[in-house]
Structures are given as C-alpha cells and as structure tokens.
Amino acid sequence: MFSPLFNYLQLFRNIPLADRAFITQHLAYKQVQEGELLLQEGRVARELFFICKGVIKIMAVNDKGKNVTYFFLRENQFTTILNSFNNNIPSTESIVAACDAEVIVVGKTALMDIYAKLPYLKELITGIQQQALLDKIQLRNAFLGEDASKRYKLFLTRQPDVALRVPLGDIASYLGVTQQSLSRIRRTAR
C-alpha cells in the first residue's frame, strides 16, 4: 500500500526497514474520486500528499469568480500548499483530484514526528519539494508569451499523460483559454 512512496524515496536514499516501519505508522492511504477536494481554498493545509496514482490539480477562484487550474501533479509527486502548510495560514488555492486518484497522506504533526526521529528524511523531502517547485516554475514560464495553439502543443509535449486523463475543461483552464477555443485548437491541430 505504501510501497510507491518508499520505491520513490529509495531512488534518492536508502530507507532502512526499521525507518520504513516507523514512517508507515504515520501514513494513511486514500482513494479519491475526480473532483474530490483534498484541501479547500481558505482552509489551513495540514496534510502532505504523495500521489500514487492519478492526477491532482492545484486551482483557485480568480477575481471574476471562475475556477482556474494552476498546476497538474501526477504519480510520484508530493503536493500541499506549502505557504499554508509551513506558516499555518489559510490557503489561497485548493487541491482537487483531476481524475480518480490514490494518495498517501501524512498529517503535519505526524510529519514533524517523523522529521524529529529521522532528520535525513526532512532534508530529502525538502529537497524533492524544492526541485518540484523549480520544475513547476520552469513549465509555467515555458508557456509565457506563447499563443494558445503553441501553449496547447507544448502542454501535449510536456504532459501527454495528463492530457489523456483529465477533463478538457481543466486543460483549457490551465492553458488560459475557453473550452470552446481549446476545441477549435484541437480540431485544427489534427
């Protein structure tokens, strides 16, 4: 049940069996349905999620009252709203299942207990999170200055597996176009 997490962490550092047993005591496994909220905007993030299967999206409501998708995260990625999680403040974004998904959940208190006993794990997970933030920024920056058609082609090149699993409306929101515009772009791209 928790092997995807340990298999992933083992890519970076050996996790002894005794440490795995201790970590496992602090974890929960959760299946979520498409559209299910893992964190609602305005609430304090008190959990860190590791995605075992599926796609999770980070989204918020813009000043016009529309839901906007900022990022898609998939298997072998951690997610939370770091500013809220680290500073105990209400989140300005939501975390939502973009399709049916399976996640491993660790609460903040439990995570701090793990870090207290296994300091190397804090360094490891923090490093992974920092690299993930840089990757997200790099991906979003790649879209800057591109027209909608080029953004869509770039999205297909960089995240083809996400394109196959999430609703068209989410992709349109992520690319900053209407669903109708994205449908036209898709028709002309064929």
Residue 42 confidence (pLDDT):
96
Domain 3-142 fold is Jelly Rolls (2.60.120)
Model confidence pLDDT, tens digit, residues 88-99: 999 999 999 999
Model confidence pLDDT, tens digit, residues 24-65: 999 999 999 999 999 999 999 999 999 999 999 999 998 888
Residue 189 has pLDDT above 80, yes or no: no
Residue 190 confidence (pLDDT):
65
The model carries a pTM of: 0.93
Q: How far apart are the first and last CA of the chain?
A: 40
